[in-house]
């Protein structure tokens, strides 16, 4: 696997993690109820699944660990930018907030 493919997969996986976190946030609040417990279980399962994919990507890429970390940080920042870009485009098209 080359570095471009690695960073594209990382962007996708980090985007999924950020999206799940943003979408599940309204369901997890201080007075914990059964809905909060179900939401936490679903989010935890998704985080474990995506985390295992990220671990597999680290094993497949043949590079130094410092290179992998730098690529992962770059991918995370690009995933945040992608999420913000989607929010801005959605707001300009519909005049409503998508993730809020």
d(CA 72, CA 86) in angstroms, rounded, equals 21
Mean pLDDT by 10 residues, the chain (100 residues): 90 93 83 86 92 88 91 95 94 86
Per-residue pLDDT, 57: 86
CA count, 13 A, side-chain hemisphere, 63? 17
Q: Are 43 and 20 in contact (CB under 8 A)?
A: yes
pLDDT given for residue 75 in this prediction: 95
């Amino acid at each position: 696997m080359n570095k471009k493919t690695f960073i594209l997969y990382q962007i996708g996986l980090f985007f999924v993690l950020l999206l799940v976190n943003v979408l599940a946030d309204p369901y997890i609040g201080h007075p914990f109820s059964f809905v909060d417990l179900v939401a936490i279980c679903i989010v935890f399962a998704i985080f474990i699944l995506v985390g295992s994919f990220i671990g597999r990507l680290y094993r497949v890429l043949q590079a130094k660990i410092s290179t992998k970390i730098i690529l992962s940080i770059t991918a995370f920042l690009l995933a945040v930018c992608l999420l913000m870009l989607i929010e801005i485009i959605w707001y300009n098209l519909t005049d409503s907030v998508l993730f809020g």
